[in-house]
Amino acid sequence: MIIWERQHAGNHYQVRTAGASIRLYRNQVFHSQYHGGRLLNGGVWDMLWLPLFFRQPDKPLRVLVLGVGAGAAIKKISDYVPSANITGVDIDKIHLYVARRFVGLDRRRVRLIHADAIDWLQNYNGPSFDLIIDDLFFEHEGEPCRAIAFAANKGRWFRRIKACLTPNGLLIANCVSSREARSLVSGALCSLPSAFSSGYTLREPNYENIICIASRRPLTLADWRDHLASALGQGASPVLSPTQKFRRLA
């Protein structure tokens, strides 16, 4: 059901409900899904935030989300990881409005910045982040496309993200093709100096998306399961569906 609609600057926006979920569409392309009544949003919007449990979430965690959309991933982090200090950047001020109004991102917990995230990160000189989620997408001919390829400008984007992470920092990136994922992973694991030493992908066969996770510190699935269980009081199996699979890359 459509509950809100707007035309702005040549774009068409819709907020719809599907059962208890809130969905954001721009130009008919599905950008976000948020379910407030349970732990999981469903699909790719969980695969974006659940890998943060590779880190111990009881320590203060500085989180940067590039691509806020309706704030589905940010809201779950803010609800389930009280130690998180979250900054979200999005180029679309209507999306930021939807995230505040319909998903209820709290101003005290989440700082939202209206900017082109590529320029913003190039110019950023504040404290490093423990976690950066790169989910920058726009739509082209009705399909979602990454706003910037990891291989662009000889890997400059990738190096910039790495420079803004703490030494133990974690990168979670949403890729829509195996080519993009391979390019990220080979950049992450092979680029010197201080290449990342550990990486996983997370996939759900019903979605095209491949979520890539990379870190300089070794990551283990045993840690992920332990941190998840202590933070959420849940084991891994009800959280990830049996079809969602982590694959170790290094």
Ligand X SMILES: C[S@@+](CC[C@H](N)C(=O)[O-])C[C@H]1O[C@@H](n2cnc3c(N)ncnc32)[C@H](O)[C@@H]1O
- Judged by the rule CB under 6 A, the positions of this chain that interact with ligand X are 31-32, 45, 48, 67-73, 89-92, 95, 116-118, 135-138, 147
Closest contact distance (angstroms) between CB of 41 and ligand X is: 8
By C-beta, is 68 or 165 nearer to ligand X? 68
- Which tokens belong to 139? 């739509």
Closest contact distance (angstroms) between CB of 44 and ligand X is: 8
By C-beta, is 87 or 198 nearer to ligand X? 87
Closest contact distance (angstroms) between CB of 163 and ligand X is: 18
Half-sphere exposure of 131 (CA within 13 A, CB side): 31
By C-beta, is 25 or 224 nearer to ligand X? 25
Closest contact distance (angstroms) between CB of 88 and ligand X is: 8
Cβ atoms of 42 and 34 within 8 Å: the answer is no
Rounded CA gap, 34 and 57, in Å? Answer: 22
Minimal CB distance residue for ligand X: 69
Closest contact distance (angstroms) between CB of 194 and ligand X is: 26
Write down how long the chain is. 250
Cβ atoms of 76 and 105 within 8 Å: the answer is no
By C-beta, is 94 or 232 nearer to ligand X? 94
- Which tokens belong to 106? 């709290």
By C-beta, is 198 or 213 nearer to ligand X? 213
Tokens 């662009």, residue located: 152
Cα 56 to Cα 53, 106, 119, 231, distances in angstroms: 6, 23, 30, 9
Cβ atoms of 112 and 90 within 8 Å: the answer is yes
